[in-house]
Chain A
């Protein structure tokens, strides 16, 4: 079946540096992908909608200059956390919409730790 791959699963970076997380649809084309952030024991908070070939749509309160999203192909969306700070440490997970009525697949998620 359809699979969404997210990489890396774990990443540790130094404060002030940038880190990139990839979300890839392996056997289907995804014109739309979504990025969520999840703190421990909390729900998934939608950060932005990634649209292939156009600018991402960010949710209210999400800094677009800090969380850069690029969706350059029909199978790949990337989230770059720029100038990372310890408060950016979190679990980030992507989803992709496939063909069919609201057929949605999730990546495995990425743990980001900023030290």
Chain B
């Protein structure tokens, strides 16, 4: 079975600084997708970034980028120039091959941004 682990329950960053959230996963599949979702207090799930396992290039979306290490099964999220609006709970998620849409989530990391 696939598992996703986020070992940092809480993280804190100063506004305008950079922070990295960690995520590791376990799977026997070679083809899969990885995601980072943001969940603000409204509880709406917001897709931050997505990475296809077959792509070696790390995904980037404006201030958000990932460090995808397939061999190490690691998928960290880097937030640059942190803003107050980035404060939220962040979830790393995995979905296996077959385009099922069935997401397996990590435990989540609560990010605090200090002004």
Q: Which residue numbers of A lie inside 8 Å of B, CB to CB? A: 32, 34, 38, 41-44, 46, 49, 91, 93, 95-97, 101-104, 106, 108-109
Residue contact B91 to A44, C-beta cutoff 8 Å: yes
Nearest chain B CB to A71's CB is how many angstroms away?
13
Residue contact A93 to B105, C-beta cutoff 8 Å: no
Contacts of B91 in A (CB 8 A): 43-44
Interface string of B83-108 (1 = CB under 8 A from A): 00000010100010001111111111
Q: Which residue numbers of B lie inside 8 Å of A, CB to CB? A: 33, 43-45, 47, 50, 52, 89, 91, 95, 99-108, 110
Residue contact A49 to B43, C-beta cutoff 8 Å: no
Q: A104: nearest residue on chain B (CB-CB)?
A: B101
Residue contact A97 to B101, C-beta cutoff 8 Å: yes
Instruction: Give A95 to B104 CA distance when docked, in angstroms.
Output: 12
Residue contact A42 to B108, C-beta cutoff 8 Å: yes
Q: Which one of B43, B89, B101, B105 contacts A32 once the chains associate, using CB atoms below 8 Å?
A: B101
Nearest chain A CB to B62's CB is how many angstroms away?
18
Residue contact B101 to A109, C-beta cutoff 8 Å: no
Instruction: Give A109 to B101 CA distance when docked, in angstroms.
Output: 18
Q: Which one of A41, A49, A101, A108 contacts B33 once the chains associate, using CB atoms below 8 Å?
A: A101
Residue contact A46 to B103, C-beta cutoff 8 Å: yes
Residue contact A97 to B45, C-beta cutoff 8 Å: no
Residue contact B44 to A97, C-beta cutoff 8 Å: no
Contact flag A95-B101 (CB < 8 Å), given A101-B33, A101-B52, A109-B43: yes
Instruction: Give A104 to B43 CA distance when docked, in angstroms.
Output: 16
A-B complex: 3 closest residue pairs judged by Cβ atoms: A97-B101, A106-B45, A102-B33
Contact flag A93-B45 (CB < 8 Å), given A34-B102, A46-B102, A102-B95: yes
Contacts of B45 in A (CB 8 A): 44, 93, 95, 106
Contacts of B107 in A (CB 8 A): 42-43
Contacts of A95 in B (CB 8 A): 45, 101, 103
Q: B95: nearest residue on chain A (CB-CB)?
A: A102
